Structure 1
Amino acid sequence: MIDRNELLGITIRVVAAAAVSFFSLRYLVKHIDPNDSINEECKKKVAKLFQELGIDREVELSEHEVRIATQFVGGEEVGADWDEIGGCEELVAELKDRIILPLRFAAESGSHLLSPPRGILLYGPPGCGKTLLAKAVARAAGCRFINLQISNLTDKWYGESQKLAAAVFSVAQKFQPTIIFIDEVDSFLRDRQSHDHESTAMMKAQFMTLWDGFASSGDQIIVMGATNRPRDVDSAILRRMTARFQVPVPDARQRSQILDVILRNERIKGDVNLEKIAQTAEGLSGSDLKEVCRLALLARAKATVASGGSVTRLLPLEQSDFESAVHKYMRAAQLLVEETLD
């Protein structure tokens, strides 16, 4: 007969062995998982983003949803105010009428015709502010903004890309109203070909199927894409992007407005004529003008230091600074074109 002490000892040894086996197995599984370090890093990033955005951290997210949630835009990158976008009055007015107002009416109206479009395409030359406009729409509408990086949808393990594509919409649904923004949408949702890789084709099919699913529901989720090559976007995607807005290269008046926005916090001499500078900067986009202003400020900083001054107390920008910067920038652009043609 086994006495009580022996039975207690055996029980303790069995429980201890089971505990050791459990934690050993857990340790092995944790470190065998190739995505373990990625998942831990994503969790930390999501926690920080949620704090910045004021999102309830009690919302449960799966492993794939956590990886997608890292692409929420937070902090200072949340978006721009409308007055920070120069030279787009007509486009901004149309965006407000066709997107912002329907988002506000959606909760009160019983008509599906007053709901916002489920797909929006911003197209036009590079550097004209498509991404900035998308963020401004999200901020004005009070939407969460997912800046979807397509590289985060690809995975070497079979089937994972489809799960990540599904997570995009499940995360958007949990934190709606949400805008899913895809920059250079033509690189991801381009014309499908018979020679496309199987996993890529399946991911695109999954993305479009889920898109159709929430489009027929009452969820406030918008997919917004930007491209400078609209003809390369798959026709099935264009069909889903019913609201299309062209963002053209700014004209002289718009360039002057953009310069006003870029330079509003800089010291400028009273005789600087921004309209004249805008006239000479023919064909330049918003991002080009920002670089021109940077070159002008750099030249002024160099002149200030050369005269014995300090970079912390720069002399006011002069007309000649801008004229030299425009000439330098446009000359470099012309040389690039000539090299390309050769």
Structure 2
Amino acid sequence: MASGTTLQKAIDLVTKATEEDRNQNYAEALRLYEHGVEYFLHAIKYEAQGEKAKESIRAKCVQYLERAEKIKESIKKGKKKPVLDGGSKEDKKNSDSDEDDDDPEKKKLQTKLEGAIVVEKPHVKWSDVAGLDAAKEALKEAVILPIRFPHLFSGKRVPWKGILLFGPPGTGKSYLAKAVATEANNSTFFSVSSSDLVSKWLGESEKLVRNLFELARAHKPSIIFIDEVDSLCSSRSDNESESARRIKTEFLVQMQGVGHDTEGILVLGATNIPWVLDAAIRRRFEKRIYIPLPEEHARATMFKIHLGNTRNVLTEEDIKELAMNTEGYSGADISIVVRDALMQPVRKVQTATHFKKIRGPSPKDPNVIMDDLLIPCSPGDPGAMEMTWMEVDGDKLAEPPVTMNDMLRSLATSKPTVNDEDLVKLEKFMKDFGQEG
């Protein structure tokens, strides 16, 4: 019978694996365990009859996989003798000391959190962030200086332990955090969201918070960046769930609790709605910096940054005019305006009915000058040829430059996203608890 064959094959494989395990041929045992488990899983999926039989096979799979993991760990560490499941107490004691007394549950939680460590630097420099000088100075003071000149921060002079960036959406709070991750070369940067810390299992969420801080202490100097911190640390109230309350309590204890060393750890939070934060959490963010909507000179810089090296015919005066016309726009809004304007030349190519020949650099190699490049034009232009973009050779299309008209057209259709009501609340919060960024 087919089911008997697969199941029997799995049993034979794990029997051989345990024999090899006993004979200390660990590499072969590991291969056989993994192979056997694959057959068991196939049997569960396609052949096992009844839920009870499936449960029994699953339990066996877990057992064999655990053993395989132990062997794998031992091979990795170069140990000759892995922990035997039925070993003597003394053997177990010795093996435990080899494992640095690591609690397997703690290890599992820390492995889960290791995904929050930003390994690849985002390549955002301070110069890429337009304006926000006070915020940049505060972050340099808290992050870069203590790493570069640790002797300056001795005795009573200690760097900031918690910085909260608050302001309307799209003003560059997360972007500043990216700049910190890039510029703080020797630091470990943890980018944490609520999904990393909230678990469906009772008691696991606060353990994750504790393990996050333990991991940060082990990798210090480290920065823990929590975007939308209000989702984790809103005001405590009577009608909230018990688990939410416990997460907040663990945060409070870890950020500045008794017996917890916070040296070398900076907690960086970002939020659009700081007034919902719990008062105790607010107190633990020692610096609360308001990231406002960009001023006119910052908006002009943003237009230049977002245009980059795309071909355009905009003058300094045009950029100034655009900056003046975008009062109330956030950095993200300006980015959308420019992105839409950058698409206007593509739309011109799509809708053009006539093209004309021009001289210019080849699209493939800018050092080669070509005389027969084609660019969209109006039917009345001298040398206009009636054709659509489908008839243009891919190597012959000249990129139409972005013009002021393109920018104004995009500006007319892209509206600011920041609400005046929220701005009033944010400014009130800044006057009461924060400082200008």
Deviations 1:185-212 (A, max 9, x none): 1121010112221122112212221222
The one of 32, 43, 64 equivalent to 2:109 is: 64
Q: Counterparts in 2 of 1:95-114, with a 5 A limit?
A: 95-106=139-150, 108-109=151-152, 111-114=154-157
* Counterpart check, 1:217 vs 2:261: yes
The one of 309, 314, 325 equivalent to 1:265 is: 309
Distance in 2 (CA, whole Å) between partners of 1:110 and 1:271 is 47
Q: What letter corresponds to residue 325 of structure 1 in structure 2?
A: S
Distance in 1 (CA, whole Å) between partners of 2:148 and 2:158 is 9
Distance in 2 (CA, whole Å) between partners of 1:126 and 1:195 is 28
* Counterpart check, 1:85 vs 2:129: yes
Aligned to 1:319: 404
Distance in 2 (CA, whole Å) between partners of 1:74 and 1:67 is 15
The gaps in structure 1 that reach 5 residues or longer are: 1-11, 37-58, 338-342
Aligned to 2:180: 137
Deviations 1:98-155 (A, max 9, x none): 542234333x346243332111000111100001111212322222221111112122
Q: Give the total of aligned pairs.
A: 297
Distance in 1 (CA, whole Å) between partners of 2:183 and 2:206 is 32
- Give the deviation of 1:92 after TM superposition: 2.0
Q: Counterparts in 2 of 1:8-87, with a 5 A limit?
A: 28=59, 31=62, 62-75=107-120, 78-87=122-131
TM normalised by structure 2 equals 0.60
Distance in 2 (CA, whole Å) between partners of 1:169 and 1:141 is 19
* TM-aligned CA distance change 1:262 to 1:235, over 3 Å: same
Aligned to 1:246: 290
Structure in which a larger fraction of residues adopt helix: 1
* TM-aligned CA distance change 1:29 to 1:211, over 3 Å: farther
* TM-aligned CA distance change 1:186 to 1:154, over 3 Å: same
TM normalised by structure 1 equals 0.76
Aligned to 2:171: 128
- Give the deviation of 1:31 after TM superposition: 4.8
* TM-aligned CA distance change 1:333 to 1:181, over 3 Å: closer
Q: What letter corresponds to residue 133 of structure 1 in structure 2?
A: L
Distance in 1 (CA, whole Å) between partners of 2:155 and 2:275 is 30
Distance in 2 (CA, whole Å) between partners of 1:243 and 1:215 is 23
Aligned to 2:271: 227
- Give the deviation of 1:26 after TM superposition: 10
Secondary structure of 1:135's counterpart equals helix
Deviations 1:209-266 (A, max 9, x none): 1222499636311111011111111110111100121100012111001111111222
* TM-aligned CA distance change 1:318 to 1:222, over 3 Å: same
Aligned to 2:199: 155
Distance in 1 (CA, whole Å) between partners of 2:60 and 2:284 is 42
Q: Counterparts in 2 of 1:168-179, with a 5 A limit?
A: 168-179=212-223
Contact 1:105 1:114 (C-alpha < 8 Å) held by counterparts: no
- Give the deviation of 1:270 after TM superposition: 4.7
Distance in 2 (CA, whole Å) between partners of 1:30 and 1:104 is 51
Larger RCO (CA under 8 A, 6+ residues apart): 1
Secondary structure of 2:110's counterpart equals helix
CA RMSD of aligned residues (A): 3.6
Secondary structure of 1:65's counterpart equals helix
Q: What letter corresponds to residue 281 of structure 2 in structure 1?
A: I
Aligned to 1:304: 349
- Give the deviation of 1:313 after TM superposition: 5.0
Aligned to 1:194: 238
Q: What letter corresponds to residue 337 of structure 2 in structure 1?
A: V
Distance in 1 (CA, whole Å) between partners of 2:122 and 2:322 is 31
The gaps in structure 2 that reach 5 residues or longer are: 1-14, 23-28, 38-55, 67-99, 353-375, 377-388, 421-437
Aligned to 1:288: 333
Q: What letter corresponds to residue 108 of structure 2 in structure 1?
A: E
Secondary structure of 2:141's counterpart equals helix
Q: What letter corresponds to residue 336 of structure 2 in structure 1?
A: E
Judge which range, 128-137 or 216-225, deviates more. 216-225
Secondary structure of 2:111's counterpart equals helix
- Give the deviation of 1:96 after TM superposition: 2.2
- Give the deviation of 1:172 after TM superposition: 1.1
Deviations 1:46-93 (A, max 9, x none): xxxxxxxxxxxxx98811011111012233x53510111112234323
* TM-aligned CA distance change 1:303 to 1:204, over 3 Å: same
Q: What letter corresponds to residue 191 of structure 2 in structure 1?
A: N
The one of 215, 219, 228 equivalent to 1:184 is: 228
Distance in 2 (CA, whole Å) between partners of 1:84 and 1:18 is 58
Contact 2:146 2:152 (C-alpha < 8 Å) held by counterparts: no
Contact 1:85 1:261 (C-alpha < 8 Å) held by counterparts: no
Contact 1:172 1:180 (C-alpha < 8 Å) held by counterparts: yes
Q: What letter corresponds to residue 279 of structure 1 in structure 2?
A: M
The one of 252, 261, 266 equivalent to 1:208 is: 252
Secondary structure of 2:282's counterpart equals helix
Contact 1:105 1:115 (C-alpha < 8 Å) held by counterparts: no
